[in-house]
């Protein structure tokens, strides 16, 4: 099934759940739109927070970076000796 159909099915399920909650008076009627928008805004906020926390806790591995640069220099030397054009130096 195409991915967009799955997304639309998820949206329909969520709105059906919300309308079901309204009909059985778990949620008061006059606050329909306000609570729905509040939930959507808080979901967006949560996503943004997770992105920010992931950025802050990202591991950088400085030793691996040094080793990688050494590997790149070694590979460039090897290829230049074999006659391959290695571009900017």
Partner 1 sequence: MELADKAVGFLLSAISLSIFTYYTLWIIILPFVESDHFIHRYFLPQEYAILIPVFAGVALLSFLSMFVGYVMLKSKKKSA
Quickly count: other Cβ atoms within 10 Å of residue 36's Cβ.
15
CB of 30 to partner 1, least distance (A): 11
Binding part of the chain for partner 1, among 5-13, 14-22, 29-37, 75-83 by CB under 8 A, reads: 29-37
Using CB under 8 A, pick the residue from 45, 67, 68, 73 that binds partner 1: 45
Contacts 24+ apart (CB under 8 A), 64-71: none
CB of 68 to partner 1, least distance (A): 15
Residue owning tokens 């008061």: 28
- Candidates 24, 33, 82, 89: give the one binding partner 1 (CB under 8 A): 33
22 contacts: CB under 8 Å, gap ≥ 6: 29, 32
Instruction: State which of positions 48-67 bind partner 1 (CB under 8 A).
Output: 48-49, 51-58, 60
Which whole-number Å values give the CA distances from 80 to 74, 76, 77, 89, in the listed order? 10, 6, 5, 11
Kindly list the residues in this chain that would bind partner 1 in the complex (CB under 8 A).
33-34, 37-38, 40-42, 45-46, 48-49, 51-58, 60
């Amino acid at each position: 099934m195409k991915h967009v159909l799955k997304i639309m099915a998820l949206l329909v399920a969520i709105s059906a759940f919300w309308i079901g909650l309204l009909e059985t008076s778990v949620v008061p009627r006059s606050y329909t739109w306000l609570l729905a928008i509040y939930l959507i805004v808080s979901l967006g906020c949560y996503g943004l927070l997770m992105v920010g926390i992931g950025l802050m806790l990202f591991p950088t591995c400085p030793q691996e970076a040094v080793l990688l640069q050494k590997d790149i220099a070694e590979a460039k030397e090897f290829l230049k000796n074999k006659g391959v054009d290695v571009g900017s130096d």
